[in-house]
Structure 1
C-alpha cells in the first residue's frame, strides 16, 4: 500500500468560522473553496468560466439565463447535486452578499426546471450575471437542507461537493484543520486556471497548522516540518530566499487592498466629518511600510477601488490619502467629536495588526479617547458582526484586507451602503443608486462616468478608507509543485515529491 501523501500548510489565520455566507473572512473563503464547488469561477485573466455548470444559454432579450449542471457531481455524503440544492444555496447567499444582493434586486424568478437545469429570469437586463456567479465570495453550493439555514445564522453541517472533505473530527480550533481528498469528485477536463478549470487533487490529505509566531512557522518550513507557508512576513522573505530547499513566490498576483472600516452606527463615525477625518489622517506609505515593509511588494493606491483594474479612479480628491493632513483631520474631528470612547480592534495575529496600532496613535494625536482592544483574528471576525455599542461588546474601527472583489463596486465589501451593507452598516441612497447603475450599464465609457460619480460620492461620504495595496509572498518546499496562481488559495493540482 502506497504511503499517504500529506500536504502540511501554515495558513495566514486561524479558522474558527466555517460558513462563507455568515462571514467574508478570507480564511473562511479558503476553507469554502476546499469543500464546496461553485457554478462559475474566475480564471487567471479574471474571466468567468463554467465550473459546476456544463452548458448555459441566454435569451435574445438578455433576460432569461438557462443553466445545466454537468454530470457526475455528488455531495460528500454520496447524494447527487441537484438544482434544488443550487437554487437554495443561491437564495441563502444573495441574502448576505453584496454582489448577490444586487443580482437579486433585478431577478424576477429563480427556479429549478428539473434536477439538472435551472433558470434565472431578470426583470431588466443586467450585464454581470456570470461575473456575479463567479464571485470569489460565492455562491458556494450546499445541500438544500443545509442551505435552508437562516443566512444570519451559521450552518451546522459542512457537506459540500468540492475536491476535499472537511474532517470535522480532527478539527481543533486554534491549532489544526484537516481535509481529505474526496474520491467521488469529478474534475473538469481542462487545466486549472485561477478558481476555474480542472481541480485535480494529487495529495491524499491537507493539514493546516495554525502557527501565529512567525519564527516558529519559519523554522517549521526550513526544517521540513511543513510544506507551505501562506503569508510569511516580508522581512523574513530574504531568509527563505537564501534556503535552496525553499521556493518563494507570489501565489496571488492580483494582490490585496487594505481598508480601515468605521462603524457608522455610533458616534463619532455616524457623522461623515469624523469619517472624513480618518481619510485626512491616513498616509498610505506609513501604513504599508509598517504592514509590508519592502516597497517592491506594495503601492500607494489613490482609488477606493483596486488599482490596476477598470474601476480605478481618483475622482473626488482621493489624492488626500497619499500624505497625512493632521491639521485638517483635527478640524473635522473637533467639529463633531463629543469625547466618546473609540474602540479599535487590534488583531495580534493578522497582517492588519500594525495598521490598528497606527490608527490608534493617530486618533490619540487628534485628541480622541481610544481604547485599543487586542484579540486574535478569529475573534475579530466574529465580533465585527455585533451591532452593540462599542463599549458594550461592539466596536468603532477595524482594519482588513480584501482581494479582487474590490475591483467592482457591486462586489466590493466596503461600497454597499444600504440594506446589503457589510459590517459597519453605512446607509447612502445615492451610492446604492450609482452601484446599481454601474452594474446595469454595458457601455465602458458610460460605466467609467458612473464610476467617477460614485467615487466622488464615496470620497464625501467616506464609507471606508483605503490604506494601500500589496502582494503577499508565500514560501513552499522545493519538492512541492503545481501551485495554482490566482486570487484564492486552493490545494488542487499540487504534487509533493
Structure 2
C-alpha cells in the first residue's frame, strides 16, 4: 500500500492591509546598477531545511541554494537535468540510473559525487524528516561508481521523476555538512550546490543569497539577492514604486493589474493553482441531485471568474489543473437560472454556508462573496464563514458545524495527476478535508497510478474527476495564473507551474541589457 503524501494549501496570501507611508527622501540606485535583486517575502521562513519543512514563498530561495538530480524546466512540466545530466529507466520501471554532472561542487568545496547523493537520500528518507514520503517507494539506492546513482523501486511508479523534480523534492546536501552538524542546524544554515549561497539568515527581517562563483551551471545575472520580510502588501507596493524592491511576487491586487503605474510591468505564467470547493458529505448539495444542479448553476465560474481575475484565470476544466491535464470533455455547469430557482422553491428553500480559511488568498474571499450573491439570486440563503487559521485541517472532527462548501486555492506536490488525486480527493487522502469517499472513483484513480501512456492516464484521471463532481463531493472553479508585478525590464523570471505562485528563479532572472 502506498503511503499518504502531503501537498500544500494556499496559506501564502496576506490581506491588503493599511498602507504605511514610505520615505522617498533617499532614492536608491536601481538593482541593475548594483547587480542586486531585491524580492520580498510576505511570509517568513519557518526553516531552510530542504528535507524537513514545507515552505511556500521560500521555495525559490531553497531551490537556488540546493539542487536535486532533476528539475522542472521553467514555464513547463517537462523534466530536465540538474545534478544528473542523464538517466535511464529499466523496462520493468523498477530501476532508475542517474549519471551525475562533472565538476559540480558544494558551497563548502566538497565534490558532488554519488556518495553525497546517497548521504542526502538517506537523510531525506529518515522517519524524522517531514518530507520523507517523497521516497516512499524506494527500496534501495546504490552507487556503483562515483558518478552513478541507482534507485530501486518497490513497484513501478511513473510519477517517480516528478517527485524528484518537485520543488519540495529530495535535494543533495554536502555530506560534510550533514556529518558535521546536528539536524536543527539546517533550519538556519545551508550547504548546497546551487547557483547561490545562503549568507545571511536574519529571521523575520531579511535573508541574503550571494552568487556561488564555482557553480557548475550557467552563471546567474545577479551577484546578490536580498529578501526582506514585508508582510503588508501595501508596503510592498509602495516600496516597488519607490524602487526599494524589484518585484511584488504575489498578492498584487487583481483589480489593479490592468493599470499599473509607469515603470512597472507584470509577468504572467501558467500555474497549477486550482480554485476548487470541498462539499460537506451529507449536505443537501451532496445528497439531492436537483439541488446540486441548481447550486452549480448559480456557482458557474463562467459567470464570475473574469470579474475577479481579468485575463489571468479561466474556468476550471476538471478537478485537475489545466496545466496538468486537459480532459476530453471539460466539466459543464448548468446555465438555466430560472430552472435553478424553481428547484430551490420546489425543495422548500435551501440554506448553505461557504467557508474559507482566514489565511487564504484574497481571491478566495472575493469568490466566496460572489458565490453567496449568485446563490441568493436563485433563492438560496447563503452565508460566508471565515474559518480560523488552520481550522480547515480539523473539519472532519467538527463536521456538525463545518460549512457546506469550503473554498481553497491549492497547488499539488508535482505535475503528475497522482499528486492531485492522491492528496485531495481519494478516500483517506491527507488533504481530503471533508473526508469524502467514492470507492468507484478511487478504483479508477488508483488504477491510473501505474499507467505510462500519458493520454490513457489522463483519460482515467479525468473519468475519476467526473465521478467526484457528479457525486457532489468536489467542485472545480478556476485555473489561476502565476502573476508577478515587477520593475520594467526584469525578465526571464523562470516561473514554474508546480511552484507556488511568485517563486522567481533567482538563477535565471535578469534585467534586459
Give TM-score scaled by structure 1 length. Answer: 0.72
5+ residue gaps, structure 1 = 189-197, 375-379
Q: Is the 8 A contact 2:285 2:472 kept in 1?
A: no
Partner of residue 282 from structure 1, selected from 299, 305, 330: 299
Give TM-score scaled by structure 2 length. Answer: 0.70
Deviation at 1:142, TM superposition (A): 4.9
The whole-number CA distance in structure 2 between the counterparts of 1:16 and 1:395 is 31
5+ residue gaps, structure 2 = 1-31
Cα deviation digits, residues 214-236 of structure 1 (max 9, x gap): 4x433322221221122332332
Cα deviation digits, residues 262-298 of structure 1 (max 9, x gap): 387xx76799439995756522145524531x2x322
Partner of residue 305 from structure 1, selected from 306, 312, 320: 320
Structure 1 residues 276-285 or 127-136, which shifts more?
276-285
Secondary structure in 2 matching 1:207: strand
Where in structure 2 are the equivalents of 1:77-476 lying within 5 Å?
82-88=116-122, 91=125, 104-105=136-137, 107-111=138-142, 113=144, 116-142=147-173, 156-161=187-192, 162-166=194-198, 169-172=201-204, 176-183=205-212, 186-188=215-217, 198=218, 200=220, 202-210=222-230, 212-214=232-234, 216-231=235-250, 232-240=252-260, 243=262, 245-250=263-268, 252=269, 254-262=270-278, 272-273=286-287, 277=292, 282-292=299-309, 294=310, 296-307=311-322, 310-314=325-329, 318-320=331-333, 325=340, 344-347=356-359, 350-358=362-370, 366-367=380-381, 371-373=385-387, 380=389, 384-386=392-394, 389-390=397-398, 399-402=407-410, 408-412=416-420, 415-418=424-427, 420-422=429-431, 424=433, 426-462=436-472, 464-476=474-486
Secondary structure in 2 matching 1:38: coil
Partner of 1:192: none
The whole-number CA distance in structure 2 between the counterparts of 1:393 and 1:30 is 38
- Against the structure 1 CA distance between its residues 255 and 83, is the aligned structure 2 distance closer, same or farther, given a 3 Å change threshold? closer
The yes-or-no answer on 1:50 pairing with 2:81 is: yes
- Against the structure 1 CA distance between its residues 477 and 370, is the aligned structure 2 distance closer, same or farther, given a 3 Å change threshold? closer
Deviation at 1:131, TM superposition (A): 3.1
Deviation at 1:15, TM superposition (A): 3.2
Q: Is the 8 A contact 2:158 2:450 kept in 1?
A: yes
Deviation at 1:421, TM superposition (A): 2.9
The whole-number CA distance in structure 1 between the counterparts of 2:367 and 2:319 is 17
The whole-number CA distance in structure 1 between the counterparts of 2:395 and 2:174 is 30
Secondary structure in 2 matching 1:248: strand
Aligned CA-pair RMSD: 4.8
Secondary structure in 2 matching 1:412: helix
Secondary structure in 1 matching 2:418: coil
Q: Is the 8 A contact 1:310 1:407 kept in 2?
A: no
Count of residue pairs the alignment pairs up: 456
Deviation at 1:308, TM superposition (A): 5.8
Secondary structure in 2 matching 1:319: coil
Structure 1 residues 403-412 or 393-402, which shifts more?
393-402
The whole-number CA distance in structure 2 between the counterparts of 1:394 and 1:451 is 28
Cα deviation digits, residues 125-179 of structure 1 (max 9, x gap): 44333233223442344568979xxx9x99745525133344564231xxx4423
The whole-number CA distance in structure 2 between the counterparts of 1:73 and 1:248 is 35
Secondary structure in 1 matching 2:265: strand
Bigger Cα Rg: 2
Cα deviation digits, residues 298-333 of structure 1 (max 9, x gap): 222232222365443446xx2127787577689999
Partner of 2:29: none
